[in-house]
Amino acid sequence: MLDGRLSLTTPEGVRLLLTPAGPAIRAAAWALDFIVWLVIAFFGIWIFSGSKLGAGVIGLILFVSYWGYPVICEVYFRGRSIGKRAFGLEVLRADGLPVGWRESALRNLIAVADFLPMLYASGLLCMLLDRRFRRLGDIVAGTQVVYHEKLPARSQFTDVQPLATSYPLTPEQQRILIGLFEREKKLPVERMQELASIAEPITGLTGAASLAELRGIAAGLTQ
């Protein structure tokens, strides 16, 4: 595979494809989590400051929110803290299974080492050297951060008359053709027509007419 995805083969002989997340998006997710922590810490201090009892509660809040927050998120919320959820990331074990207490606690403890000597320099260096963008904590705990994949919507071509192809397409060509229409909303109409014109040998048409014809063929292929 050349698309940078990680392929794990399960005992059933199925390949699980995971996409490791790179340093930039992880830094963004971390920054959001850090802001959330700052807000929690700020409100904790704001509410409880003043009394002696409150000072003790502040210490407890700081401790639990600083060391406990990422671990609780990863164990109880499927490997996703608020920052990771916002950026569509999740933490998994290297074998693609959810993280447990041990993995989560270790990777978040070692984050201290990743932070050294300053601003996650060790973690960044480690991520850049590692094929799967793992920081030290991930390597020690046997975990990795991947993109969370949503269940894709399936039904499309609802209002299109399916057409039969006069020209037999290989499975790979079929994938390419249907993949094109799956991305149709992201592409400008002119570009779609331009691409459809390339298919002139198949459709015998150019521009918008060829596009309509191709859409019909794609609809026919999915049904």
Residue 106 in contact with other proteins, rule: CB under 8 A: yes
195 touches other proteins by CB under 8 A:
no
The contact mask relative to other proteins for 16-55 (x = CB under 8 A, - = no) is xx----------------------------------xxxx
The Cα 149–Cα 46 span in angstroms is: 39
- Asked whether the beta carbons of 165 and 142 are under 8 A apart, the reply is no
Q: Under a CB-based contact definition with an 8 Å cutoff, are residues 91 and 144 in contact?
A: yes
Judged by CB under 8 A, the residue of 50, 168, 171, 188 near other proteins is 171
Q: Does 139 bind other proteins (CB under 8 A)?
A: yes
Closest CA to 58 of 69, 47, 71: 47
Report if residue 200 touches other proteins, rule: CB under 8 A. no
Q: Using H for helix, E for strand and C for coil, what is the string for 68-100?
A: HHHHHHHHHCCCCCHHHHHCCEEEEECCCCECC
59 binds other proteins (CB under 8 A): yes
CA angle (102, 98, 125) in 5-degree steps: 70
In the set 34, 42, 63, 167, which binds other proteins (CB under 8 A)? 63
Shortest separation between residue 206's beta carbon and other proteins, angstroms = 25
Determine, following the binding rule CB under 8 A, whether residue 136 of this chain makes contact with other proteins. yes
Residue 142 touches other proteins, criterion: CB under 8 A: yes
Among 32, 109, 163, 212, which residue sits at the site for other proteins (rule: CB under 8 A)? 109
| CA–CA separation, 178 and 162 (whole Å) | 13
Q: At what angle do helices 207-222 and 171-182 cross, to 10 degrees?
A: 110
Cβ–Cβ < 8 Å for 168, 221: no
Residue 82 contacts other proteins per CB under 8 A: no
113 touches other proteins by CB under 8 A: yes
Q: Which is nearer to other proteins, 63 or 167 (CB)?
A: 63
Question: Which of 11-19, 24-32, 197-205, 208-216 is the region at the interface with other proteins (rule: CB under 8 A)?
Answer: 11-19
What is the signed CA dihedral for 125, 129, 131, 136, rounded to 10 degrees? -50
Beta bridge partners of 18: 6
Q: Which residues bind other proteins (CB under 8 A)?
A: 10, 12-14, 16-17, 52-60, 62-63, 66-67, 96-98, 100, 102, 105-106, 109-113, 116, 122, 136, 139-142, 149-154, 156, 170-172, 174-175, 178-179, 182, 221-223
